[in-house]
Structure 1
Amino acid sequence: MRFEDYRRHDMTALADLVARREVSAAELLETALARSAAVNPQINAITQDLSDFARGELTQASEGPFAGVPFLLKDLGAQLAGTITTGGSRAFKDARAEADSAIVAAYRRAGLIIFGKTNTPEFGLAPVTEPALFGPSRNPWNLDHTPGGSSGGASAAVAAGIVPGAHASDGGGSIRVPASACGLFGLKPSRGRVSFAPAGEGWAGASMQHALTRSVRDCAALLDVVCQPQVGDPYFLAPPERPFAQEIGRDPGKLRIAFTTASLASPELDPQCVRAVRDAAALCESLGHDVTEASLPGDLAALSQAAGVIIAASVAATLDAEAERRGRPFGEDEVEFTTWMSYRRGRELSAPQYVQAVAVVHAFGRAVAGLFADYDILLLSTTGRPPPPVGWLTEDLSQYARRLFSFMSNTQAFNNTGQPAMSVPLAWSEEGLPIGLQFVAPMGEEARLFRLAGQLEQAKPWFDCIAPL
């Protein structure tokens, strides 16, 4: 299959071609591998080659909804039996999985052909993808800029046309930030929608798994594949009224949409992001929705402090568990500087401090839920600025926290509330870099987001907005 033809199809369309025997799964895989060989040296999106495994999977007949479609796993949070999951860290460069995670098992049952793993910052701790282990990923829209993080390898691979969709995860914005940076559609599901079995939930339930895609319908159909609760899951949501894929094209009705040009975790948004929010609000109003400017309730400063406590404690617990397994403690030279600082902080925290932090997070979630008594959707910028240059975050460590939150300004709050949130590629910067707009719905209302996303996709299509790489 010619790459030009491959790129014109989303995952759903490729699966249809395979089902109708107009193309074989082997042809699709070889096309994806050829594209990877051509562009991955420039973008450093794929850090593990699983092509031999993928060719072996072609012999397994599947009738799943994505039978024969090439796919990539993020090198964090998902285990594929027999392969290494590094989490972007030298500390886990030899960590081989004994069994599939529930989400990976679901992908394989659906017929997806996994042929590689994508780059991620160490333990997913940054909104850029520049791990010491593998080096930086680069944005196909401009190779001098970041594709975001922590699912930056995934976003770069999709934007570069290697695959039309890839696995991703989101603990503080790690689906939505790279979606924004690379002009993709990215939805973080509600807490409890996608199981983390058997590894367990991350960051006190703030972390979720799903995907980055070029089309809305692929995102919805992939969520249908993986939203199967597992025995013993600590969080649970009622199943959707109908498959999410059937929400695409349905009338969202007249929605009450609140919007804000605020930056939740830093002093202010970049003016280009402010304009993007106002343009998106005007677009929603033109589609018949009731759009009103509003403010997000809750103590954002307290939330940021509490989230930092939970993340630091989680990093410490992860490294301490690995140290116990291997029988010797970690040294400072085994992880990156910022990870080590987080680890040291986590070791100094007390159990009461952790419990208090979780209580602050829950209180914030209750405060924000009150906003959705009056509104159906909240609209705001996904990021605080367009994607910065590679190396910008760490070039001056004294500015690390300020720069971190000036870019990842508006996403972490909704990891902590657990609400579903999506980044929609509706704007571009003066430099030609993508700017995503974030839409947030009440807990469990992914269907509402999909209906709105389908409407936005029709009103302002982005599928043919192709990165110049």
Structure 2
Amino acid sequence: MSWDEWTRHDAVALAGRVRAGELTPAEIAAQAAAAVAKVNPAVSAVVEVFGDAVADPAGNGTALDGPFAGVPYLMKDLGPTLKGRLQEMGSLLMRGNRAAADSFLAGRIRQAGLNIIGRTTTPEFGVCSSAENPAVYVTRNPWDTGYTSCGSSAGTAAAVAAGVLPLSHATDGGGSIRIPAGVCGNIGLKVSRGVFSIAPGLSDLSGLVSIQGCQSRTVRDTALFVDSCRGGAPGEFMPFWQPEEPYSTLIERDPRPLRIALSHEWGAARPTPHIVAELERAGRFLEGLGHHVEHVLPPIDFDSAFAAQTTCYISNFAQTIANLLAPRGLERPPEGLVEPMNIRLWEAGIGTSYTERARMQAVFNTTSRAFGDFFEKWDVILTPTMAAPTPPVGTTELLTISDNPSVHDWFANLWRHFAYTPLANLCGIPGISLPFGMLENGLPMGIQALSRQAGDGLLLQLAAQMERALDGRWNAGRRPAVHVTG
């Protein structure tokens, strides 16, 4: 295929051509690998391509009779493990680390017919806002390589935006599907709790804020991914739910007229006037589709919620790092192999008491109940995906190579930039970033829609309605400067 033809196909279209006998899984895997070679020198999105998976998709464990029929797929270098493959988590400490077994979700991805051909970049342990440590790699935004693609699903966002492939793995512990999707012009859905398993290492009860997922360029690709890969592993602590009908058919219908709350002053977040104007433009667009849109602020104690979220992240990441140190016979994170802020996170969080976590959980509960009450009156909350423009590469104060001595101050700075995404993780509600807006400098700007627990299908319906109204022209039909067609 020409590169123009390649990028006109989403994953559903590629799978259809494979089933029709017009293409083979090996051919499309080879084209995706060629696309990596074409754009990766400029954006540094892909850590490794698995040559054997490109040459022999069936030998990679891919169920070629699955709904995606061998469509190539990249796995973020964090989260689901692949037996025998490297998983280095963006860290010098983890260089050479190979997984002993597939995770449950990796098996579901393969059963869906997705051919995992490589791994994408992530910040160290997925902690910070950008995959940006010169000692490891610096992932850049394909729209303008002077800017970051944000994190922690940095490489996936850049690869999908640059036309490498239509669909790729991402994870979201506080916005890491939605934020990089927003700044790179992709679709990024963070699902509700009880959709994707994080077995065997964690559960939705012990992982608490961590969600698996994908980024894509079309709503139907995301819908089919959720339909095909959802479900709990044996022994889950909580039930995994199923919708009344597959999202792939649900999105063919417009949603009923919705009550949509436009909202942007969350805690200390005060977005620029241009970002507010783009949010309001999205609101007017939705009004034109028949929805009721009104400026409303959810009655949330944002300061308490962000403080509880900070406790969660500090203690969670401290334990994550501790679990990586123990098998290596290390008592503390070694300087030079672990980034400075992650060392300080470990120091601040490793002694977190049960009492502190109980207080955190109490705020999680009150915040979740408050959002639940709000969604009794409103169907969707519409926000920007970020409160500030995309950071330039080298914005060190947002990175884990920062020299800020205070982890709490470092997190407070993150919340000022990334206020709108993390509370969905706290509450377990769904959120989707859609490539509707544009920053003053021409970079994409995501618009986020949130809904009640298990409202994932409604968000996808709304996104599909917008996509149809735009004639599929997300990002106003523009392409990034770094793109396989270039």
TM-score (norm 2): 0.92
- The alpha-carbon deviation at position 201 of structure 1 amounts to 3.7
Show the 5 A alignment for 1:276-315: 276-315=278-317
Residues 92-139 of structure 1 deviation map (CA, whole Å, 9 limit, x = unaligned)? 223211211111111111221111100001111112221455211000
SS of 1:169 mapped into structure 2? strand
Instruction: Identify which range, 21-30 or 60-69, moves more after superposition.
Output: 60-69
Distance in 2, matches of 1:458 and 1:190, equals 25
Q: 1:381 corresponds to which residue?
A: 384
Q: 1:97 corresponds to which residue?
A: 99
Counterpart code for 1:466: R
Q: 2:481 corresponds to which residue?
A: 468
Distance in 2, matches of 1:248 and 1:423, equals 16
- The alpha-carbon deviation at position 204 of structure 1 amounts to 4.5
Contact 1:393–1:403 (Cα < 8 Å) also in 2: no
Distance in 2, matches of 1:298 and 1:318, equals 29
SS of 2:145 mapped into structure 1? coil
Q: 2:140 corresponds to which residue?
A: 138
SS of 1:258 mapped into structure 2? strand
Distance in 2, matches of 1:418 and 1:195, equals 14
Report whether the alignment pairs 1:224 with 2:227: yes
Residues 159-188 of structure 1 deviation map (CA, whole Å, 9 limit, x = unaligned)? 011111100000000000011000111100
Report whether the alignment pairs 1:66 with 2:68: yes
Call closer, same or farther: CA 1:459–1:397 in 2, change over 3 Å.
farther
Q: 1:437 corresponds to which residue?
A: 447
Call closer, same or farther: CA 1:138–1:445 in 2, change over 3 Å.
same
- The alpha-carbon deviation at position 349 of structure 1 amounts to 2.3
Show the 5 A alignment for 1:183-222: 183-201=185-203, 204-222=207-225
Counterpart code for 1:404: L
Counterpart code for 1:447: G
Distance in 2, matches of 1:79 and 1:19, equals 28
Distance in 1, matches of 2:26 and 2:326, equals 43
Q: 1:336 corresponds to which residue?
A: 339
Q: 2:263 corresponds to which residue?
A: 260
SS of 1:221 mapped into structure 2? helix
Contact 1:179–1:423 (Cα < 8 Å) also in 2: yes
Contact 2:82–2:101 (Cα < 8 Å) also in 1: yes
Residues 217-244 of structure 1 deviation map (CA, whole Å, 9 limit, x = unaligned)? 0000000111111112223342110111
Contact 2:340–2:403 (Cα < 8 Å) also in 1: no
- The alpha-carbon deviation at position 415 of structure 1 amounts to 0.7
Call closer, same or farther: CA 1:251–1:27 in 2, change over 3 Å.
same
Distance in 1, matches of 2:169 and 2:129, equals 16
Distance in 1, matches of 2:90 and 2:133, equals 6
Report whether the alignment pairs 1:365 with 2:375: no
- The alpha-carbon deviation at position 402 of structure 1 amounts to 5.2
- The alpha-carbon deviation at position 321 of structure 1 amounts to 2.3
- The alpha-carbon deviation at position 70 of structure 1 amounts to 0.9
Instruction: Identify which range, 336-345 or 353-362, moves more after superposition.
Output: 353-362
Instruction: Identify which range, 296-305 or 149-158, moves more after superposition.
Output: 296-305
Distance in 1, matches of 2:419 and 2:131, equals 17
Call closer, same or farther: CA 1:163–1:347 in 2, change over 3 Å.
same
Distance in 2, matches of 1:267 and 1:5, equals 42
Structure 1: gaps spanning 5 or more residues? none
- The alpha-carbon deviation at position 90 of structure 1 amounts to 1.9
Counterpart code for 1:255: L
Q: 2:426 corresponds to which residue?
A: 416
Distance in 1, matches of 2:299 and 2:452, equals 14
- The alpha-carbon deviation at position 56 of structure 1 amounts to 3.0
Distance in 1, matches of 2:63 and 2:242, equals 28
Distance in 2, matches of 1:348 and 1:49, equals 39
SS of 2:137 mapped into structure 1? coil
Contact 1:254–1:289 (Cα < 8 Å) also in 2: yes
SS of 1:39 mapped into structure 2? helix
Q: 1:153 corresponds to which residue?
A: 155
Q: 2:349 corresponds to which residue?
A: 346
Distance in 2, matches of 1:236 and 1:133, equals 42
Distance in 2, matches of 1:285 and 1:237, equals 34
Counterpart code for 1:200: L
SS of 1:144 mapped into structure 2? strand
Q: Percentage identity across aligned positions? A: 35
Counterpart code for 2:352: L
- The alpha-carbon deviation at position 261 of structure 1 amounts to 2.5
Given the alignment, which residue of 454, 463, 468 partners 1:453?
Answer: 463
Q: 1:15 corresponds to which residue?
A: 15
Q: 1:175 corresponds to which residue?
A: 177
Instruction: Identify which range, 351-360 or 444-453, moves more after superposition.
Output: 351-360
SS of 1:394 mapped into structure 2? helix
Distance in 1, matches of 2:128 and 2:112, equals 31
Distance in 2, matches of 1:462 and 1:335, equals 42
Structure 2: gaps spanning 5 or more residues? none
- The alpha-carbon deviation at position 329 of structure 1 amounts to 1.4
Distance in 1, matches of 2:153 and 2:361, equals 25
Call closer, same or farther: CA 1:381–1:278 in 2, change over 3 Å.
same
Q: 1:406 corresponds to which residue?
A: 416
Distance in 2, matches of 1:61 and 1:204, equals 29
Counterpart code for 1:380: T
Call closer, same or farther: CA 1:266–1:51 in 2, change over 3 Å.
farther
Q: 1:41 corresponds to which residue?
A: 41
Counterpart code for 1:105: G
Distance in 2, matches of 1:420 and 1:287, equals 22
Distance in 2, matches of 1:311 and 1:29, equals 37
Contact 2:322–2:346 (Cα < 8 Å) also in 1: no
Contact 1:201–1:207 (Cα < 8 Å) also in 2: no
